[in-house]
Every structure is written in structure tokens, then in C-alpha cells.
Amino acid sequence: MKWSTHIGWVCFTLIILPTIAGFSQSHKKVTHFEGTKTVNGVEVTVNCIGATDSLDYCDGDPAPYFIGYDGLTDQSGNGRVIFNFSEPVTDIVMSFAGTSDIDNHYEEVIVYINGNHYRLSPKNKVNGCGEELATVNEKGHLVGCRDCSVSGWSGTRIRGPIHSVMVIDTVIRGTPNGTVFSLLIGPPVSEQIKPVENTLTNYFQTMEEGSAGKELVIESEQLENTAITIKDANGKYITIHYQLIEPNKVVIDISDLTKGEYLLELKLNGKLESQRFLVE
């Protein structure tokens, strides 16, 4: 975050009908810096390591976690924040700000989910600071836009179940002076998915930003034996490629879908359920 006067995924909107609850309704912000507190029904333990600080930045959109900068020494340095949840949450939402790539000052922000490296996808939603949009390098790390003293984005959503998150700022060159980020967590998975015998009543679907492109994620207790199809507005079946991640989670590659209305159909034991969605 160099203070000065200069301040894989295409633009795509997937609208699920009926509307899924927005972030403000089902997600709660984590704000503590050490120890354990209850957030959204989950005990969240936070550990800050290395160059970390707090910063009330841009009315709190990408805040309060400030990594890659040590407020005591006023120096850039590697820093990380680790979040552990007492039980898995459905998803998380993160926003970023202040990431620099200017005058040989350069840093990278790295995210780990459940102990595994997570490749970020670039977002096209400007953060609450009105900064230039950051970008993603070949390693899937968030980096500043070229010649930007500060940059970021808002609204990276990662689907779960998630039991741990680690966010790292690594200084590559110079004194970039860190990145600010926020973390919102969804409710416990146990509150969202309930076992249902021979029915898809509890299934739900969301849009996810996968590293390979656009994905439709469907979750239910009965997906392992379910037939899944997609039709276009004319009733024509669309060839789809999907992967059964686990018995209750399917990821469908929809990166080739053009703009328009589609019908998702799920059939189990002779019962057919359907849901419209729009690609805009």
C-alpha cells in the first residue's frame, strides 16, 4: 500500500431464481485479532503472525486486517492471519485493498483454504475504497495492477465446507506496505444441509468462481444417484460436464454457456425438480 495520489474469469453474472440470501443477510464479519470469539454461530480462533496490524480503512469494506505491514516499526514485511472454525462454515466472502505494484514496490497475497492453496480468480467489483482493480498472477495470487500504488476488489466468495482460512502477504520487492482485507463467514454447514430420504427438497445451487472458469455448484444429500440436465430457453438439452466432488456436492462447468435463460433439472427416483437460472 504505497500512499500517493495515484490510487480464470470474464465478466459474468449468474442469477439464481429464487434469489439466494445476500451476504448481509447470511454472512457475519470477523473482526477480532486474537483468541476465540463466536461469529455467526461458530467459534472463530484468530492468530496473527509476522507483520500484521489493524486498519479502519474505507469505511470498513476491506478491513480490519492489515497484513504485510508492521505498525510498530513502520516497515513492510511478510505477515499472515489464520482463522480456524470450530465447525465448517458454508462459505466465506473476502474483500481486498491497498495492494501495490509501483516503482519496484511489489507484494503478493496468497490464500489457503482448509490447508490447501486456493487459486484466486480476478473480480470486476470495485471495493468500497474506489481503488483500481487488482489482478491475479500465474500462481493464482492477488497482485496490484500495473503502476498502482493501491488496488483491490470486493466480494471474493469461496464455497465450503470451510474449517480454516489463511491469508498471507509476501513482500517480493521494495516496501509495498501491505494489504488490507476483510473476512465474512457463512453459517455452520450443519444448519444449512439436513439429511433427507429419497428427496431433493433441500438441494440448493450457487455460482462459484472456479480456477477454470464459470461453475454451477449444487449441494444436496442425494446427488450421488441423481440425473442432472440443463435445457436452454427452447427446451434443447445442453451438453454439460460435471464432477461429483463428494456424495452431496456436484460442480458443473458452465463456462461455455452464452447469455440467456436455462433450466436446471434434477431427477431422483422418478421425481423431477427444476430451477431456472439466467446467464447475463
SS (H, E, C) 39-101: ECCEEEEEEEEECEEECCCHHHCCCCEEECEECCCCEECCEEEEEEEEEEEEEEEEEEECCCE
In which residue ranges of the chain is CATH 2.60.120 found?
22-190
Q: Of 21-25, 255-259, 269-273, give the lowest mean pLDDT range.
A: 21-25
Where in the chain do CATH 2.60.40.10 domains reside?
193-279
> How confident is the model at residue 268, as a pLDDT?
77
**What is the pLDDT averaged over residues 117-140?**
86
- pLDDT tens digit string along 134-151? 999 999 999 998 888 898
Quick check: helix, strand or coil at residue 125? coil
Does the structure show a pLDDT above 50 at 256? Answer: yes
**pLDDT tens figures, 24-49:** 458 999 999 999 999 999 999 999 99
Taking residues 90-109, what's their average pLDDT?
89
Farthest-apart Cα atoms in the chain, separation: 66
More confident residue, 143 or 160: 143
Phi, psi of 60 (to 5 degrees): 85, 5
Q: Which residues contact 21 (CB under 8 A, 6 or more apart)?
A: none
> Which of 76-90, 113-127, 166-180, 205-219 has the least mean pLDDT?
205-219
Query: SS3 helix, strand, coil % of the chain, rounded to 5?
Result: 5, 55, 40
List, for residues 164-181, the tens digit of each pLDDT value. Answer: 999 999 998 888 888 999
DSSP tag of 148:
B
CATH topology classification for 193-279: Immunoglobulin-like (2.60.40)
pLDDT class of 242 with cuts at 50, 70, 90: low
- Coil, strand, or helix at residue 58? helix
Q: How far apart (Å, rounded) are the C-alpha atoms in residues 216 and 2? A: 38
C-alpha cell at 162: 470451510
249, 216 Cβ separation under 8 angstroms: no
Three-state SS at 278: strand
- For 22, the enclosing helix (H) or strand (E) is none
Indicate whether 163 pLDDT > 90: yes
Burial of 10: CB neighbours in 10 Å, binned 0-12, 13-18, 19+: exposed
Class of domain 22-190: mainly beta
Query: Could you tell me which of 93, 122, 109 has the C-alpha nearest to residue 180?
Result: 109
Dist CA 104 CA 101 (whole Å): 7
Residue 11 pLDDT exceeds 80 = no
pLDDT in tens, 179-233: 999 999 999 988 764 443 444 434 555 555 554 467 777 777 666 667 888 888 8
Residue of 157, 108, 163, 116 whose CA lies nearest to 137: 108
**Mean pLDDT of the residues in the chain:** 78
